[in-house]
Amino acid sequence: MSLELTAPTPEEPSVADDGTWLECIECGAQFAPFEDVRYTCDDCDGLLEVRYATPPTWDDFDGRGVWRYNAALPFEEGVSLPEGATPLHEVPRLEAAIGVETLRIKHEGMNPTGSFKDRGMTVGVRVAKELGVGRLACASTGNTSAALAAYGARGGMETLVLLPSGKVAAGKIAQAALHDARILEVDGNFDSCLDIVQDLAARGEVYLLNSLNPFRLEGQKTIGLEILEEFHEDYGTYPDRIVLPVGNAGNTSALYKAFRELVQSGALDADEVPKLTGVQAEGAAPMVEAVENGWDDTKRWDDVETKATAIRIGNPVNAPKALPGIRETGGTAVSVSDEEITEAQRDLAAEGVGVEPASAASVAGLRKLRNEGVVGEDEQVVCLTTGHLLKDPDAAFEAGDDPEPVPNDTDAVLDHLAE
């Protein structure tokens, strides 16, 4: 099985370009990485992974941000804004309230377009240039479209985004619009948008830059590399657990791949790998269902609903990569209600960390697992918060207090404050 944590370092095949190739996770077929455009296996339609003859060690890393980790990436540099080097916040009150030994928040909302997608796009758009493709496209619940629009603009490329009508937060549409993406609003959910973009890509109309594209996940691996490096610098150890929101399951797959490659190079022991713990909204939880039932893939949920619109996804395309990651690291998956998500969003805000609802799912999930005794009080945990508060201003208004109107007069303001 090619996705085992302790899989041996792969031998470089004849199709490799500079020690890099694409390999099917199902049948092992191998392909040259930059000769043709492909997203899945020609032979069995399985998901593809980027493979390297020489997996990275800690000494290979130099610089700052995503491209610090270019020894773990297919290129030296990308189309960059730049991205990565996000904060790993301490949250002492939340740590005490949840009751774990250590809680740190890796805030991916601090990337250039306000979400982790930038890490994937800096690599993905670079690959698009290498392949010489024309129009770039994605389906999106919002953040991927914002990142694609910005990185496409940076690379001087045309972009097309398909969004589920009425289900994308205002800040994200504004970003895609200003960066000049062509925006199509589809009368359907995210999963049907992705079906259409995949069809367009199969017909050669667009280059697909959703996380089905294996190069996107290479960039997103750097979240895991940064967490491990920074955590180790602060504590001399690695976190026991990383808790993250799950939608299309790209990050879960990417972090697992980062850890596998470190284990392959000997930079990390298998028993030092953090337990990957996924959190979904109750109304969109096919990954939780798959983990609970021990399945190797998810069953598509046609009806999904949650206020965390970024993870309103019923058919996580990366599930066959992510499920082994959760299983092999000893992690788990849990679902949380929209109310629990809002409570966690407020708790993070009370520590000065502003996140969009989907991001807060990680903290809500950690609290739930701690209350259930699945997470121990002695654990050192990192929660990933994936998008910035300003992405979804409506949700922020709803979760926060209303402004109070006062007259244009100092005494009246003082009277009001005394009430």
Ligand X SMILES: N[C@@H](CCOP(=O)(O)O)C(=O)O
Ligand Y SMILES: Cc1ncc(COP(=O)(O)O)c(C=O)c1O
Which residues here bind ligand X, judged by CB under 6 A?
A: 117, 138, 140-144, 210-211, 247-248, 250, 310
Provide the mask over 278-317, with x wherever binding to ligand Y is found by CB under 6 A and - wherever it is not.
Answer: --------------------------------xx------
Residues 6+ apart with CB under 8 A from 263: 5, 6, 269, 270, 273
**Residue among 65 and 365 whose Cβ is closer to ligand Y:** 365
Q: Which does 210 bind (CB under 5 to 8 A by kind): ligand X, ligand Y, none?
A: ligand X
Q: Which does 306 bind (CB under 5 to 8 A by kind): ligand X, ligand Y, none?
A: none
Stretch that binds ligand Y, among 233-241, 246-254, 363-371, 404-412 (CB under 6 A): 246-254
* Under rule CB under 6 A, residue 245 binds ligand Y: yes
User: Are 385 and 166 within 8 A, CB to CB?
Assistant: no
Contact positions with ligand Y (CB under 6 A) in 133-152: 141, 143
Q: Which does 140 bind (CB under 5 to 8 A by kind): ligand X, ligand Y, none?
A: ligand X
**Residue among 261 and 356 whose Cβ is closer to ligand X:** 356
- What is the separation, in whole angstroms, between the first and last Cα of the chain? 67
**Residue among 119 and 370 whose Cβ is closer to ligand Y:** 119
**Residue among 10 and 365 whose Cβ is closer to ligand Y:** 365
CB of 143 to ligand X, least distance (A): 3
**Residue among 80 and 198 whose Cβ is closer to ligand X:** 198
| Sheet containing 30-31: order of strands | 30-31, 20-24, 48-52
CB of 365 to ligand X, least distance (A): 17
* Under rule CB under 6 A, residue 47 binds ligand Y: no
CA distances from 43 to 1, 153, 310 (A): 17, 35, 32
Q: Which does 287 bind (CB under 5 to 8 A by kind): ligand X, ligand Y, none?
A: none
What is the binding site for ligand Y (CB under 6 A)? 115, 141, 143, 245-251, 310-311, 356, 358-359, 386-387
